[in-house]
Amino acid sequence: MSGHNESILREPLITGKDITYAQITDDILLPVENKPNKAWWIGFILSLCGATLWVVAVSYTFWFGIGSWGLNKTVGWAWDITGFVWWVGIGHAGTLISAVLLLFRQNWRNSINRSAEAMTIFAVICAATYVVSHMGRPWLAYWVLPLPNQFGSLWVNFNSPLVWDMFAISTYFSVSLLFWYTGLLPDIATIRDRAVGMRKKVYTILSFGWTGSVKTWQRFEAVSLILAGISTPLVLSVHTIVSMDFATSVIPGWHTTIFPPYFVAGAIFSGFAMVLTLLLVARKVLGLENYITMFHIESMNKIIILTGSIVGVAYLTEFFIAWYSGSEYEQYAFINRSTGPYWWAYWMMMTCNVISPQLLWFKKIRTSIAATWILSIVVNIGMWFERFVIIVTSLHRDFLPSSWAMFYPTWVDVSVFVGSIGLFFTLFLLFLRVLPSIAIAEVKLLLKSASEQAKLELIKEGHLDKEQVQEYIESLEKFDSVKQEEYAKI
């Protein structure tokens, strides 16, 4: 219950003095209830330009067909699936934070889950658009569904990983959306009860009539827990199935059993990097330093080192197994990756994903906002290259040397990708304006036990172990939102 005291050894999840329940509501709803500032407009206009580019490039693809992409007979899958896997991977952090961390009772998820889940939904939208636009005849996209039809009822091929992928991605998207929206209901009700006029009407419809009565809350918690329980295997299955798009083929470099765990770790790795990229900026611009603290940033960085190292081990294992298998095709695929014409992509991937994240072992770097932000972008670049390397280098030199080729992207390829980033940021910035970017109700739960002020109160009462208090005060030094002079006296 809220009255319990938390161990003083745990770092605070809410910093700042005189935070009240009303203060939390005011702070979080600040961007929703007020006109946007200049930083938001600049970001929004830039993103909108990107989104426009995306519309142009995708429309061009629809009109002229996928011949407008740089694909050739040898490399029939390149930039599009790279972008698809990259976006789906980024989407994984949201569900991981909201579901897996809920099951593990990691309270620090409470202030980052909402925006991470929103990010998941927008990333999956970006990924899904690649699926539709690569079809050539996108108006027939519904053919991937097993619908009764007039071709003598010809069914989709249920043995194909591409069909499994359609099931996985659409389930993932819709379940994430449900989870996100159900969690949003109490917070939308908070906006509703403070709004007037037209805004009130809109948020009334969106709030589904939420009142916060005992029974609704009790059922709400039961639903959240069950949804977390089913989303956990779901999130692992989604990237497993994405990896099977490759792993079930017989192409050297793709045909490996290590792919599912390797892809899942990579997805979490890139997802957390994207969460950091977005939240470090949002925290600053929206003034949410008291809710997204250095502890959150450091925890996410620790997950990045862990998953980055798993990815590193997977790269080395792949290489070792290629040699150990004795299969010369497999061996050539890997020698070609690291020393062939795409060596630069391979080493870009190695540097960005394996070497540079190791810097996060240093506490100074892990708790530096600037360094974390740069590293998070480096990781995302690295993860894009990882998919490019796996896809293009495995295809471009096939079994017949006469058909060996290189892949060169056209302006359409590049524009679809750059544009999808614009689309993603447009959606994210709109989200920040219309919905609370932090789960208000869940953060309120932490106020009485895990906040800096509650802990300071405990210290002042003076019944705590002196050594533990000392350790706690030392742990606060890295926080940029804590006034250190408060603790100098103690």
Partner 1 sequence: MSNIKYILGSFGDPDEMMHGIEKLQENNIKIHDVYTPMPIHGIEAKLGVKRSRLDIAAFFFGITGTLTMLTGVYLATVVDWPINIGGKTHFALPDFIPITFELTILFCAFGLVGSYYASTHLFPGRAPRVMDLRATNDRFIIAIDAKANAEHEKIDELLKGAGALEVKYNERKYVSYE
Q: How far is the CB of 434 from partner 1 (least distance, A)?
A: 16
Whose Cβ is closer to partner 1: residue 216's or residue 475's? 216
Q: How far is the CB of 180 from partner 1 (least distance, A)?
A: 11
Q: Is 454 exposed, middle or buried (CB count within 10 Å of its CB: 0-12, 13-18, 19+)?
A: middle
Q: Per-residue string for binding with partner 1, 11-30, x by CB under 8 A? A: ---------xxx--x-----
Q: Which DSSP state fits 149?
A: -
Whose Cβ is closer to partner 1: residue 1's or residue 370's? 1
Size of the site for partner 1 (CB under 8 A): 67
**Binding partner 1 by CB under 8 A: which of 79, 130, 179, 385?**
179
Tell me if 171 contacts partner 1 by CB under 8 A: yes
DSSP readout, 19-73? Answer: --HHHHHHHHHHHHHS---HHHHHHHHHHHHHHHHHHHHHHHHHHH-GGGSS--S
Q: How remote is the C-alpha of 306 from its chain's centroid?
A: 16
CA 322-262-337 angle, to 5 degrees, is: 40
Backbone region of residue 197 per phi and psi (left: phi > 0; alpha: psi in -120 to 50; beta: other values): left
Q: Rounded distance, CA 454 to CA 14, Å? A: 10
**Binding partner 1 by CB under 8 A: which of 34, 150, 159, 402?**
159
Q: How far is the CB of 442 from partner 1 (least distance, A)?
A: 7
Whose Cβ is closer to partner 1: residue 29's or residue 112's? 29
Q: How far is the CB of 9 from partner 1 (least distance, A)?
A: 22
Tell me if 163 contacts partner 1 by CB under 8 A: yes
Footprint on residues 137-156 left by partner 1 (CB under 8 A): 146, 152-155
**Binding partner 1 by CB under 8 A: which of 52, 77, 194, 359?**
194
Torsion on CA atoms 275, 276, 281, 285, rounded to nearest 10: 70
**Binding partner 1 by CB under 8 A: which of 40, 193, 331, 487?**
193
> 132 CB contacts (<8 Å, ≥6 apart)?
138, 141
DSSP readout, 84-148? Answer: HHHHHHHHHHHHIIIIIHHHTT-GGGGGTHHHHHHHHHHHHHHHHHHHHHTTSSGGGGGGGS---
Tell me if 64 contacts partner 1 by CB under 8 A: no
Q: CA nearest 121: which of 72, 188, 184? A: 184
> 165 CB contacts (<8 Å, ≥6 apart)?
241, 242, 244, 245
**Binding partner 1 by CB under 8 A: which of 445, 465, 480, 486?**
445
Tell me if 487 contacts partner 1 by CB under 8 A: no
8 A C-beta contact, residue 14 and residue 291: yes
Tell me if 196 contacts partner 1 by CB under 8 A: no
Stretch that binds partner 1, among 1-9, 267-275, 318-326, 406-414 (CB under 8 A): 1-9
Single-letter residue type at 302: K
Whose Cβ is closer to partner 1: residue 4's or residue 38's? 4
> 160 CB contacts (<8 Å, ≥6 apart)?
none
Footprint on residues 202-241 left by partner 1 (CB under 8 A): 204-223, 226-227, 230-231, 233-234, 237, 240-241
Q: How far is the CB of 40 from partner 1 (least distance, A)?
A: 24
Q: Rounded distance, CA 185 to CA 2, Å? A: 22
Stretch that binds partner 1, among 80-88, 131-139, 176-184, 309-317 (CB under 8 A): 176-184
Whose Cβ is closer to partner 1: residue 40's or residue 220's? 220
Stretch that binds partner 1, among 116-124, 158-166, 304-312, 359-367 (CB under 8 A): 158-166
Q: Rounded distance, CA 483 to CA 480, Å? A: 8
Whose Cβ is closer to partner 1: residue 213's or residue 402's? 213
Tell whether the torsion through CA atoms of 195, 197, 198 and 203 is positive or negative: positive
Q: How far is the CB of 113 from partner 1 (least distance, A)?
A: 15
Stretch that binds partner 1, among 83-91, 172-180, 262-270, 477-485 (CB under 8 A): 172-180
* The pair of three-digit structure tokens given for residue 13, joined into one six-digit string: 């999840």
- Which positions lie near partner 1, rule CB under 8 A? 1-3, 20-22, 25, 146, 152-155, 158-159, 163-164, 167-168, 171, 174-175, 178-179, 182, 185-186, 189-190, 192-194, 204-223, 226-227, 230-231, 233-234, 237, 240-241, 244, 440-442, 444-445, 448
